[in-house]
Amino acid sequence: MALARRARLTAGLTAGASALLVAALLSGCGTSSKDAGEKDDPTKAAASTSAVPTNALDPAHAVSAPGRFDGTQYGDDLLLVSDETLPADVLKQIVGITVGTGKAQKKGIAAYDLLSYGNFSVENKLYNIAAVDAAKYRAFTGSRSAEFQEQWDRVAGGEIAIMDRLQKEIPVDGEGYVEVGKQRLHVGAWSPAEVDAIDAMVNEKWGETLGLPEDNAILINTGIASPQAVREVIEKRFGVKRFSITALDIVASEGLDLKAYQNVIPVGAFGDAVGVFRYRPIGGGRIAPDPGWVKAHIVTEQVPILGTVTCNRYMMPQLKAALAEVQASKLADKIHPDEYAGCYYPRFIAGSNKLSNHSFGLALDFNVPGNQRGTVGQMDRGVVAIFKRWGFAWGGDWAYTDPMHFELAKIVNPG
């Protein structure tokens, strides 16, 4: 990733608008002793950094420390995500958007930050991750997070910060590490950041290692312009499917934006099997994936023991090989075809707006009655061992067990 490109944070597109916006935010939040008039160039203030920390836990992934927080804050109104780096001409068009007409016309974007954005899977739940420049991004994360200096120093030092709302949900091993796309990252902080569409954040070097698309997302503050009006201009100019646009006030209220198309950009083993997964929530916990993605990825085929299944075509060779080995090992009677609960079903996990790997056809549930969530279950351990050899993770190993569940963890070529 070209780190120099990440130096661009346009904060306040006119000096007057910037001063008004900063003054309003600081008077409401009381986060700085500086007079807003002293901040005539918030971009320079946001870019203040110091040298790479000498005590970084992961020196190979360390970047310059962000320095002390200067009090600059912006709201988080919209998150726009593309499946590739935003071209310079497209970015220029977005940043230059205006809303209204005549004397009522105004700038649509008061401040923005570019992020590298993607998704990772942990225990059958999909989470959003962003590679950020801590010195700039912190201004959008709310006062508690922005002032949490240790968090930003640790992110700069090569650790991951995970939102504190997920502390009881995302498993961390005994040494304080979490697995992201088959990489182990040390959890440096449980973050109070308020950008609800981002579950975890790392620095730019980790973004490169994880394979996140460079600068493919833009976090937007619309200032005095209506976020909905800005979104409508973006969708009119680029089409509703060019980007996924999340209205962050809707996410924060735990609702679902039924108008929004969303992109899933996986890191790790799922990259080839998922590609870019585009969907739209349609209510009732269901989603509508892009028909082109379904046509390219989802197939119905015959497999040993279970019979006809509908799954992701990239998983099918491993699934067939695992079931064939179960059969050859005289363990076929340990899998009950009449207790198979399916592979591909595009919907959110019950009671949440998180996708599971079933949405991509990369997980299957069988022997359901005797293997309920939260139990040890009755799954034959010989069957489990075979599935693990063929690249599957087993839900019975999880902190909150799901012993009926197997999901693709790595690509294994049956040869």
Enter the DSSP assignment of 236.
H
Q: Which residues of the chain have a pLDDT value below 50?
A: 1-47, 252-254
Q: Is 3.40.50.1100 the CATH classification of the domain at 297-408? A: no
**Which of 3, 286, 304 is closest to 134 using CA atoms?**
3
The single residue listed with the structure tokens 């992701």 is 312
Question: What is the model's pLDDT at position 22?
Answer: 32
- Name the β-bridge partners of 126: 121
Which residues make Cβ contacts (< 8 Å) with residue 348, sequence separation at least 6? 281, 285, 286, 287, 354, 355, 356
Helix (H) or strand (E) holding 191, with range, is strand 183-191
The answer to whether the beta carbons of residues 73 and 25 sit under 8 Å apart is yes
- Name the β-bridge partners of 262: 279
**Which of 62, 72, 67, 69 is closest to 49 using CA atoms?**
67
Q: Quickly list DSSP for 40-60.
A: S-HHHHHT---PPPTT-S-GG
Q: Could you read off the pLDDT of 219-246 as tens digits, one per residue?
A: 999 998 989 899 999 999 998 888 999 8
Q: Where are the domains of the chain?
A: 3-268, 297-408
